[in-house]
Amino acid sequence: MAFPFRRGARRARLHPTGSSWGDTLFRAGSGAAGVAVLALLGLIAIVLTVNAAPSLRTFGLGFLVSGEWNPVTNQFGALPFIYGTLLTSALALLLGVPVSLGIAIFVSELAPPSIRIPLTYVVELLAAVPSVVYGLWGIYVLVPLLAGYVAPALQGSLGFLPVFQGTIYGTNLFTAGVILAIMIIPTVSAVTRDALTAVPQNQREAALSLGATRWESIRIGVLSYARSGIFGAVMLGLGRAFGETMAVTMVIGNRNAISVSWFAPAQTLSSLIANNIREALGTDLYLGAVVELGLVLMLVALLINVFARLMVWRFLGTTEGLE
């Protein structure tokens, strides 16, 4: 078959100079954007380290294990806030993830379309509510509800556990965990739903054809297929719980000490920074300690991420969904 172009003309059409320029530009542009992310992370770490230097020099590693936070005597330690951040985030996952999974399974596998679409919108709308609004709602609705009914009930039934003993304060660690749980639900359920709807239909049918019931087919055909996606959703939720500041500050009670009881006021890394930064400005050591908390927050988040990824490799033997 005769080709209607001359040889030279054909080459010119396949590699026109203009598009080659475009290629170079595009590669340089997207490369720069990629490098910028790393540079930004590095710059944040540098600025935090420089500003935290007085505290880093004075307290060294002891900062991480000291429980004392006293601006008057210039004694600073991060332990109560690391404890508060880890525990409230853990509570948030414990309470929020099952509900999120339930929502995602219902939306992607069980709900008829007439319910599925409005429900999807409502759940995503929740993600758009500003956290200060969650905080206000927490103060006016959640605090009285939890302190008035839920906490006494827990104390009555599970009171033998030290964490449920002691005086019930209105604003406390448990309330912060609950509000974080509510706040991560939209993210975790939306990302989980995406992971579930991406499961090929033939997986569900494989399970059904073996005589699986509806639930069994969701379990072996859908949830196990999507598990790395679900894991990613949980990690996103954890990230949000770690960093959430406003709503937590409004309901946690802001006490700079570790209490065994979950019904006692506490403090997280981010809520302490928000509460103290203004006061700390002007005092080098105080400011350094507050900034160092930011560094610790970054580090803890990084460590948890690395640890979680290692767990996935170890137990699931897969790297899929983690790239």
Residues that bind other proteins (CB under 8 A): 113, 200, 202-213, 216, 220-221, 224-225, 227, 316-318
Q: Which residues contact 179 (CB under 8 A, 6 or more apart)?
A: 134, 135, 138, 142, 247, 248, 251
What is the closest distance, in whole angstroms, from the C-beta atom of residue 151 to other proteins in the complex? 40
Angle, to 10 degrees, between the axis of helix 227-243 and the axis of helix 79-105?
Answer: 140
Tell the burial category of 244 from Cβ atoms under 10 Å away from its Cβ (0-12, 13-18, 19+): buried
CB nearer to other proteins: pick between 174 and 225: 225
CB nearer to other proteins: pick between 20 and 213: 213
Q: At 250, list the tokens.
A: 């409004």
Helix (H, G, I), strand (E, B) or coil at 157: helix
CB nearer to other proteins: pick between 4 and 113: 113
What is the closest distance, in whole angstroms, from the C-beta atom of residue 197 to other proteins in the complex? 13
What is the closest distance, in whole angstroms, from the C-beta atom of residue 169 to other proteins in the complex? 45
Q: At 39, list the tokens.
A: 């540079």
CB nearer to other proteins: pick between 146 and 223: 223
What is the closest distance, in whole angstroms, from the C-beta atom of residue 204 to other proteins in the complex? 8
Quote the CA–CA distance of 323 and 232 in Å, as a whole number: 10
Helix (H, G, I), strand (E, B) or coil at 130: coil
What is the closest distance, in whole angstroms, from the C-beta atom of residue 206 to other proteins in the complex? 5
- On whether the CB atoms of residues 155 and 82 are closer than 8 A, the answer is no
CB nearer to other proteins: pick between 24 and 197: 197
CB nearer to other proteins: pick between 110 and 158: 110
Quote the CA–CA distance of 223 and 230 in Å, as a whole number: 8
**Residue type (1 letter), 80:** P
CB nearer to other proteins: pick between 28 and 110: 110
DSSP readout, 83-105? HHHHHHHHHHHHHHHHHHHHHHH
Tell the burial category of 30 from Cβ atoms under 10 Å away from its Cβ (0-12, 13-18, 19+): exposed
